Amino acid sequence: MIEVKQVSVRRAGLPLLKDITWRITAGEHWVITGANGSGKTWLLELLAGHVHATAGEVVYDFVQGTTWDERFALRKQHIHYIPAHALQVFLQQHDMFYQQRYYSMGDERVPRVKDILGVEADAFEALGMPATFNIASLLEIDVTRLSNGQLKKVVILQQLLRGLPRVLLVDYPFEGLDPASRADLAAFLDHLARQQGITLVMTDHGHHLPAAINRRLVLAAGTVKAIEPVQPSPWPAPVTPAPAKPLQDGTPIVEMKGVAIRYGSRTILEDFHWTIRQGERWALTGRNGSGKTTLFSLIFADHPMAYSQPVFLFGKRRGSGESIWDIKNRINYFGPELISYLAPQYRPETARTWIANQHRQLNRQALTHAIEHFQAQDFIGHPVKTLSSGQLQVMLIISSLVSGRELLLLDEPYQFLDAANKERLNDYLHEHLHPDTTLVLITHYEDDIARWTQQRLVLA
Each domain of the chain, given as residue ranges in start order, spans 2-229, 252-459
CA–CA separation, 412 and 138 (whole Å):
23
Confidence grade of residue 106 (pLDDT, cut at 50, 70, 90): very low
Q: Per-residue pLDDT for 235 more than 70?
A: no
The DSSP code sequence of 252-315 is EEEEEEEEEEEETTEEEEEEEEEEEETT-EEEEEESTTSSHHHHHHHHTT--GGGGTS-EEETT
pLDDT at 264 over 80: no
Give 94's pLDDT tier (boundaries 50, 70, 90): low
Q: How confident is the model at residue 185 (pLDDT cuts 50, 70, 90)?
A: confident
* Confidence check: pLDDT of 240 > 60: no
- Residue 239 pLDDT exceeds 60: no
Please report which confidence band the pLDDT of residue 107 belongs to, taking 50, 70 and 90 as the band edges.
Answer: very low
Residues 6+ apart with CB under 8 A from 57: 5, 7
More confident residue, 132 or 208: 208
Return the pLDDT at 180: 81
pLDDT band at 121 (very low <50, low <70, confident <90, very high): low
User: Quick one: fold of 2-229?
Assistant: Rossmann fold (3.40.50)
The single-letter code of the amino acid at 379 is F
pLDDT at 376 over 50: yes
Phi-psi region of 245 (alpha: psi -120 to 50; beta: other; left: phi over 0): beta
CA distance 115 to 95: 14
Q: What is the mean pLDDT of residues 406-422?
A: 91
Helix (H) or strand (E) holding 448: helix 446-452
pLDDT at 274: 93
Angle, in degrees to the nearest 10, between helices 389-401 and 364-373: 140
CB atoms inside a 10 Å sphere around CB 218:
16
- The answer to whether the 2-229 and 252-459 domains have the same CATH topology is yes
Looking at residue 90, its pLDDT comes to 60
Poorest-confidence range of 29-33, 50-54, 168-172, 289-293? Answer: 289-293
φ/ψ of residue 157, rounded to 5: -70, -35
- State pTM to two decimals: 0.85
Beta carbons of 370 and 401 less than 8 angstroms apart: yes
Q: Which fold has domain 252-459?
A: Rossmann fold (3.40.50)
Query: What's residue 362's pLDDT?
Result: 84
Tell me, what DSSP letter sits at residue 230?
A: -
